[in-house]
Every structure is written in structure tokens, then in C-alpha cells.
Amino acid sequence: MSKLSIRDLDLEGKRVFMRVDFNVPLDDGGRVMDDTRIVETLPTIEYAVRHHARLVLASHLGRPQGKPNPKMSLKPAAERLRNLLDERIRRGINVGFAPDCIGMQAEEMASKLEKGQTLLLENLRFHPEEEANDEHFSRELAKLADCYVNDAFGTAHRAHASTVGITRFVKKSAAGLLMQKELDYLGRVLHHPGRPFVAILGGAKVSDKIPVIQNLIDKVDTLLIGGGMAYTFLKARGMEIGNSLVENDKLGLAHKLLGQAKARGIKFLLPVDHVVAAKITPDARTHIVTEGHAIPAGQMGLDIGPKTVTLFSGQIENASTIVWNGPMGVFEQEPFAHGTYAIARAVAANRPAISIVGGGDSVSAVHKAGVADRITHISTGGGASLEFLEGKKLPGVEALTNK
């Protein structure tokens, strides 16, 4: 990696301002319902604590619209972090909580931190200046730091004060261990993939994935397209798709992408059979539209069919590199979940391959299918991983200090 890592910094006694992603779901009682994002950054936090840093953590939570909202306080995250560090490092480790992320009280609490102690600041987005990347706000954050570490890959595509602005006012800015892991895996996929390289793309809209397809079409050996986005491509090929989701304004582009793939000798595989229904409900009556047949009027394609599962799984089985972003159908509803879970199991079964899963729905699918522990890397950044796969530069990465 061309950027400084936390391992390159002298942390002894230093105040380390670490941007983390503690944007976790809270229940009505204010308790953390899913601590995955906190757990994912624990290795970086532990590294800083064990190297006697005075650690200042900062995150956003939810969308408070630039003003304080008690329902979006990070205080429950501080309590959960304290418990996790108790379990992993030692009992009684101190995790303080500052009632604001800037100002005299935050500065005083940060200045009084002892070596190995941790302070979590209140929600950055309680201030509109955070998302505006305001210079004065960035300077205020920098007052809490001797050096800066970004371990929040999920926000790296946002040019905010805590991801970009602050780096202008500290001497060194480095990637945390989770950030470094994300960049290493995704960078390897884009620049040095093992062959065959298979990309699986799904989700509702083809417009969401067009830049990814355009960037990957010169890099992959096979593209597997499922989900609602497949029906724009199928209609572009002349198939009758009934009431299936389609973006008519993207038909021309879909046809062009199919032509580009053919010209480059890339396998561009679309569903050959479909699970269809008239409505999206748990009790929907479904049937299979087999290969070569039109989807009837009044029916929607809502999952890939069994023959498509076999076709896609065969490509996945022979891959050396697999990237998956987007479900194969409306997997939240049981009648349309089989295809997505089958693909999750197929990806997990190819243990020699490097497999990377990104995007909230795909990540949810591998967890629900019970195969998350067999995926090489599960990305923590939905939007950030998509933009990285599109070939875009991420502001939060570009702002870090070069080696």
C-alpha cells in the first residue's frame, strides 16, 4: 500500500485521532443491536492501546441533520466498546465519552488521557460542518490530535471534515488495519487478480452498477448478472419480461455493454430461468419460467431459477478470484431467497479462491446463509467498495500521507 499505515507511526504517548465507523443500529432503549462495525475495528484500537497511544475515537451515527439528537448519541457505542475491550485485552480498561466532538470539554478530556486510555467523541454529524468539510471545524478536530488514523473505510468515499479536512492540520495521517485490509484486498482484485476472475453483480437497478461494469469489463473473465438489474439486459436482448423491473432509459447502454463484452471475449451471463410471481409477499404463488420462454404479462422475475443457479455456480466453482456485490433476487422474502443463498454457498465452497463480498444486501446474505466465515474478505464499505470497484479515487484514502 502506498499510504502510511498505523504500523508506520510512533504511537508512544501520542494523542491519536482515529476515525472509526461506529454507525451501528440501536434499539428503542438505546442499546447496540449489532456490534459488527465496532468489532471490525478492534484490531486497530487494540494495536493503538498496546502501543500506549492516548486514543481519541470519532464517528458518525445515523443522519441527525447537523444538530444534536439524543436518539443518535454514540454513548451506547462507548459502553459496548468498553465491554469488548474488557473481554479482549483486560478488565477495567477505560473508555471515556465526550459529550461533544469539539470545544473546551473535548479538548480537556483528550489532554487528560493517559497512555493506553481511550475517549470516544459524540456524534460528528451533530455539527453540519462535518459533512461540509468546513475548515474551521477541521482545525477544531485537529486540536485533539498529534497524528491521525482513518479506519473507517465505509466513509472513505466522503470528503468530510473527519475524513479529509483534518488531515491538512496534522503532521501524519495513516490508514488503520481495517482500512489497510480493505485497500489491499480490493486493490489486488483490480490490479492483480488470479484467473479466472468472476464478478457477480446483482441488485435492483442496472444504473447503480453501470460504472462498475464499465470498469470491470476490461478486467474480468466472466460477469454474472442477477437481480432486478438483469431484466434491463434481457429486454435489451429482445426478451419479453412481463412486469419485471426495467430501466427503459438504459436499454441502449445495456445493449452497448453486451456488445463490448462479446467483442472482448468476456462471458456476460444473464439468468436463463426465473422464479416469477404477481406480487412480492411471503405467501406469493411462484412458478418457474424456463429457458427460452417469455415472462407472462402481470408476472415479475424475482429470483434466478434452478438452471441459472447451476450455470452461475459452475463459473464460480472454477474461479480463482470472485467479487460479489448485489443479491440475485428479492431475498428478504422467503419465496425469492433461494438463488441468493445458493450463490452465497457456491462462493463459500470455493475455498482456494480469493472471495470478496461487498454491499449491505450481499453481506447480509452470506451471514444469513451461514457461510460468512468461509468468505476471504467481507467489505465493511458498501458505497466505498462500489466506488473503488468503479475505479474512482476515494477522498478519505487520497488524503492520507504517502509513504
Tally helices (H) and strands (E) across the chain.
15, 15
205 is catalytic: yes
State the Cα–Cα distance between residues 77 and 159, nearest whole angstrom. 24
Which residue do the cell numbers 459452475 mark?
Answer: 314
State the Cα–Cα distance between residues 271 and 206, nearest whole angstrom. 14
Does residue 300 sit in helix, strand or coil?
strand
- Tell me how far apart the terminal alpha carbons of the chain are, to the nearest angstrom: 9
The closest of 92, 95, 166 to 129, measured between CA atoms, is 166
Say if residues 147 and 401 touch (Cβ distance below 8 Å). no
Spatial neighbors of 179 by CB under 8 A, at least 6 apart, are 150, 151, 152, 153, 156, 397
Active-site hit among 30, 360, 370, 403: 360
Does residue 282 sit in helix, strand or coil?
coil
Spatial neighbors of 58 by CB under 8 A, at least 6 apart, are 17, 18, 19, 20, 101, 120, 121, 124, 141, 162
The closest of 378, 403, 399, 402 to 138, measured between CA atoms, is 399
Active-site hit among 205, 307, 345, 374: 205
3-state helix, strand, coil in the chain (%, to 5): 40, 15, 45
Q: What value, to the nearest 5°, has the Cα angle with vertex 92 and ends 86 and 93?
A: 70
382 is catalytic: no
Ranges of H-type helices in 124-243? 128-131, 135-142, 177-191, 210-216, 230-236
Edge-first strand order for the sheet with 197-201 is: 267-269, 222-225, 197-201, 321-325, 354-358, 377-378
Active-site hit among 37, 54, 80, 82: 37
State the Cα–Cα distance between residues 321 and 354, nearest whole angstrom. 5
Residues noted as catalytic: 37, 205, 360, 383
